Structure 1
Amino acid sequence: MWRPGPRPRAAGPGRLGQRPPTYAPDLNPQEGIWSLVKRNIGNVAAADLSQITRAVKRKLKMLQYRPEVIDGCLAGTGLVLDA
C-alpha cells in the first residue's frame, strides 16, 4: 500500500514553504477573460453547438485586440508579468 511521504516543513532549495491552493480563481487571469466571454454570450439562443463556438471565438477575437482589457484581468489578480 502506498503512503505519502512527509511534507516539507521549511522553505529551502527546491522546496516550497507553502503548498499552493488546489484552485484559486482569484489568481487566474483567464477567469476574468472567461467571465467577459460568458457575459457576452449569455443570452445567445443557439440552435447548435457550432453557433455557440462561433460566438465564443468572435468574442475572444475581439478581446485579442483590446490589450487594456486583458491587462485589467491580469491586474485584478495582483500578479505581475515579468517582461
Structure 2
Amino acid sequence: MWAHLKDSLGNLAPCSIDELAALTRTRLKRMQYRPDVLDGFIAETGLIPASP
C-alpha cells in the first residue's frame, strides 16, 4: 500500500509539508473507495482473512 501511495506522489512537487500531508490524505481517501486495489494488497500478502 505504501509503495502504491509513494508512486502516486512521486512526480509531485509540494511546496510545504502541509501540502504534502494534504496530498497524502487525499490519495489515501481515494484508495478507500477502491476495494479492488485494497483486496489486491491483501491478496499479495498471502494471508487469509479471518471470518467474523
> Shared fold by TM > 0.5?
yes
Q: Percent identity?
A: 35
Structure whose alpha-carbon radius of gyration is higher? 1
Q: How does 1:1-80 map to 2 (within 5 A)?
A: 33-80=1-48
Q: Which has the higher contact order (CA 8 A, sep 6+)?
A: 2
Please report the TM-score for the alignment, with normalisation by the length of structure 1: 0.59
Aligned length: 51
Runs of 4+ in structure 1 deviating by more than 6 angstroms, as ranges, are none
Any stretches of 5+ residues in structure 2 without a counterpart?
none
Unaligned stretches of 5+ residues in structure 1: 1-32
**Cα deviation code 1:40-80 (max 9, x no counterpart):** 00111111001110111111000001111111001001001
The TM-score, its normalising length taken from structure 2, stands at 0.91
2-structure distance, mates of 1:71, 1:64: 11
User: Per residue, is there more helix in 1 or in 2?
Assistant: 2
